[in-house]
Chain A
């Protein structure tokens, strides 16, 4: 197997994907994993993808959302929300 990509690099690539698609397409964790495997053939695995998602979420750059299914998105105010009291 070729040299693995770093967690930071994968997290960055995932972030770009999410950011570019914001408002048009929602990504689930598995979609991101599939996209990364396509982008870095033989250089990422499932564990690395999971670590990268964890990094994106724990840093607050992305959040989990739930609209029927669970997605990973940029933080934003949702349509249903009422203003904070």
Chain B
């Protein structure tokens, strides 16, 4: 009889090469776990037949929650009875994915006993993904996870598990406390996370600076990206050190690659026209000992990005060019009052008018950004326009102050 713990054929080929292999991991799990054994068999069947044998389940879950469990069954349960049910659980990760080793061991123990012993840290949503268990094990797993202090994350038409970059825990560029902000939003919107109320999914992602390590500009319906309003802090001695000691070609590597061409270098001093800087972080990343973001820090809020699922990929558009981020966030007017009001207005409008399975970015495209801003009560701003200097459809009208200046 064939060894059920070993992959063969095409599946075995995926163990070759210097790269980590999911097949090796499933084999290791299969030493002790029958679900993992049948998973190997099922995958081999799929590879040979070029057919997917998974069926999507839409009902399984834990009591009271509308998300966190993704139902899966196989269409050949007689052949592979141990993966007849193979549901996925999403577990809400701690902010910026910090764990005590003890916590991880305990999650693994639960999953070895009650699931396939195969997990994915972390899924693209940010959650811990526990892959494969039966319907009967869902409530016991959930109960044991909650005893450990973990909760399920989001799936379906809910607020998905908020995620954030490592922020001030390890990174000098963080303009705000991404971990605290992500945690507070997770706690504040528990109902929205577990009880589907939206036309489709909605994601918050928090990045501490424009390097955007959680790719919020591409992946979040509402992206929060740290920024600053004042001038970049320049230490000219250190700039010279880069040029003379490190032999860095400042003109080519820094100045010529500035996207708004707002820098000049005369061989002795670096000049930045801060009014035209788009805060992209490029020069700061390269000359990190010489340049620092300004001190008037906060975040930019953007809206509408998504990966290609039903329709094509979209990047976010600026919604709030600058929001003050003063801790404690739960007490400052900007983060404690203005922001929740903005979020509510967006959810209300999209909830009422959005079509089934229409992401907020697609909704905005359908009704137009102008109408969207009008309906949620936000004034348009130049920062919302991509390439405002060259966009022929944008007209600036002089305000009173500008007119006075012109008259002088």
Spell out A's residues near B (CB within 8 Å): 28-30, 34, 46, 50, 53-54, 57-58, 60, 63-70, 75-78, 80-85
Check if B56 is an interface residue, CB within 8 A of chain A: yes
Stretch in B60-68, B237-245, B364-372 with 4+ CB within 8 Å of A: B60-68
Q: Check A57–B71 contact: CB distance below 8 A.
A: no
Q: Are B58 and A85 in contact (CB under 8 A)?
A: no
Distance in angstroms from B156 CB to nearest chain A CB is 4
Q: Are A68 and B356 in contact (CB under 8 A)?
A: yes
Of the candidates B61, B74, B77, which one forms a contact with A64 in the assembled complex, judged by CB atoms under 8 Å apart? B61
Note all chain B residues with C-beta closer than 8 A to A67.
58
In the bound assembly, the distance between CA atoms of A66 and B155 in angstroms comes to 9
In the complex, what's the smallest C-beta–C-beta distance from B87 to chain A, in angstroms? 11
| Given A66-B156, A68-B357, A69-B357, residue A80 in contact with residue B64 (CB < 8 A) | no
Q: Identify the closest chain A residue to B356 (Cβ).
A: A69
> Which residues of A lie under 8 Å from residue B195 when comparing CB positions?
29, 50, 53-54, 57, 64
Interface segment among B22-30, B196-204, B331-339: the answer is B196-204
Please state if B66 and A70 are interface contacts (CB–CB under 8 Å): yes
Q: How far is the CB of B283 from chain A (nearest CB, A)?
A: 45
**Cross-interface CB contact of A85 among B85, B157, B197, B352, cutoff 8 Å:** B85
Q: Closest Cβ of chain B: how far from A62's Cβ, in Å?
A: 10
Residue from the set B67, B135, B157 with the largest chain A CB neighbour count within 10 Å: B157
**Is B57 part of the binding interface, using a Cβ–Cβ cutoff of 8 Å?**
yes
A68 to B200, CA, bound (A): 9
Instruction: Report the nearest A residue to B200, measured CB to CB.
Output: A69
Which residue of chain A lies nearest to B136 when distances are taken between CB atoms in the complex?
A: A84
A64-B63 in contact (CB<8A) = no
Known: A69-B199, A70-B157, A70-B158. A81 touches B59 (CB 8 A): yes
A30→B77 contact, CB < 8 A: no
Chain A positions within 8 Å of B61 at CB level: 63-64
* A65 with B191: CB separation less than 8 A: no
Cβ of A64 and Cβ of B134 under 8 Å apart?
Answer: no
> Can you give 27 A-B contacts (C-beta < 8 A)?
A30-B199, A50-B195, A54-B195, A57-B66, A60-B63, A64-B66, A66-B58, A66-B66, A69-B156, A69-B199, A70-B67, A70-B156, A70-B157, A77-B59, A78-B57, A78-B59, A78-B71, A80-B57, A80-B73, A81-B57, A81-B60, A81-B73, A84-B85, A85-B81, A85-B85, A85-B134, A85-B136
For residue A50, which residues in chain B have a CB less than 8 angstroms away from its CB?
A: 191, 195, 197
Contacts of B356 in A (CB 8 A): 28, 68-69
B59–A63 CB distance below 8 A: yes
Return chain A residues, CB-CB under 8 Å to B155: 66
Judged by a CB distance under 8 angstroms, whether B94 is at the interface is: no
User: Known contacts A65-B59, A80-B57, A82-B73: does B352 contact A30 (CB below 8 Å)?
Assistant: yes
Q: Does B84 contact A (CB under 8 A)?
A: yes
Contact in complex: A80, B55 (CB < 8 Å) = yes
Pick the residue among B56, B135, B157 that contacts A69 (CB under 8 A): B157
Query: What is the minimal beta-carbon distance from B34 to any residue of chain A, in angstroms?
Result: 11
The answer for the CA separation of A13 and B158 in the assembled complex, in Å, is: 24
Q: How far is the CA of A1 from the CA of B352 in the complex (A)?
A: 22
Cα A77 to Cα B71 in complex, Å, equals: 13
Roughly how many angstroms separate A62 CA and B157 CA in the complex, as a whole number? Answer: 17
B321 within 8 A of A: no
Q: Which chain B residues lie closer than 8 Å to A58 at the CB level? A: 63-64
Residues of B near A53 (CB, < 8 A) are 195
Is B168's CB within 8 Å of the partner chain A?
Answer: no
Bound state CA distance, A60 and B61, in angstroms? 12
Q: Which of B57, B63, B64, B135 contacts A84 (CB 8 A)?
A: B135
A28 touches B56 (CB 8 A): no
Residues of B close to A76: CB separation below 8 A: 59
- Complex: A84 Cα to B158 Cα, angstroms: 28
Residues A64 and B197 in contact, CB atoms below 8 Å apart: no
Q: Which residues of B contact A64 (CB under 8 A)?
A: 61, 65-67, 156, 195-196
A82 & B352 in contact (Cβ 8 Å cutoff): no
A-B pairs with lowest CB-CB distance, top 6: A64-B66, A70-B196, A70-B157, A70-B156, A80-B55, A82-B84
Instruction: List, in ascending order, chain A residues with CB within 8 A of B191's CB.
Output: 50, 54
